[in-house]
Structure 1
């Protein structure tokens, strides 16, 4: 009888922990959106690139862009020349 009670208690704990952990994993953080390039360049001097392999269409820049797909997608409106680097300097 004790053994069955211990097995049931252990099973309930495992099921409870697995259900509780999936609820917290679903919470997503949102990427910060900037009003304009001036605001973005205060935090990210070289702008934000979608991937590390993108090339700047506008020529030489002073600073390297910060690479983040989530940040770029949130601030895609700031990429005027559509080269996958927003607000490059």
Structure 2
């Protein structure tokens, strides 16, 4: 009886861990690449920064950028001034 309960719990635990890993991997693979800055700014008003420590090289901005390495890397071409913030406003 104890062995069957222990085996059942082990199977449930392993299944839960593997399903969690799969869904995380799928979410990471679905980063949206935007056509232009107007499209990106509809979802992220302040643009997208690669990390929280980057500073804006240009003028003052109205909005704080959203921080996401994956999203920035997918839309890196929209960072014209190369300050690691794409489409800042």
TM bucket, shorter chain: 0.7 to 0.9
CA RMSD across the alignment:
1.5
Aligned to 2:64: 64
> What's the counterpart of residue 8 of structure 1?
3
Moved beyond 4 Å, runs of 4+:
none
Cα distance in 2, alignment partners of residues 26 and 74 from structure 1? 22
Give the secondary-structure state (helix, strand or coil) at the position aligned to 2:32: coil
Instruction: Tell me the TM-score normalized by structure 1.
Output: 0.80
5+ residue gaps, structure 1, are 1-5
Unaligned runs of 5+ in 2: none
Count of residue correspondences: 84
Give 1:14 deviation, angstroms. Answer: 1.9
Residue deviations 1:18-47 (CA, integer Å, cap 9, x gap): 220122122220222211111001111110
For residues 69-88 of structure 1, what are the structure 2 equivalents within 5 Å? 69-88=69-88
Structure 1 residue aligned with 2:54: 54
1:55-86 deviation line (CA, Å, top 9, x unaligned): 11122222221122222122222212221100
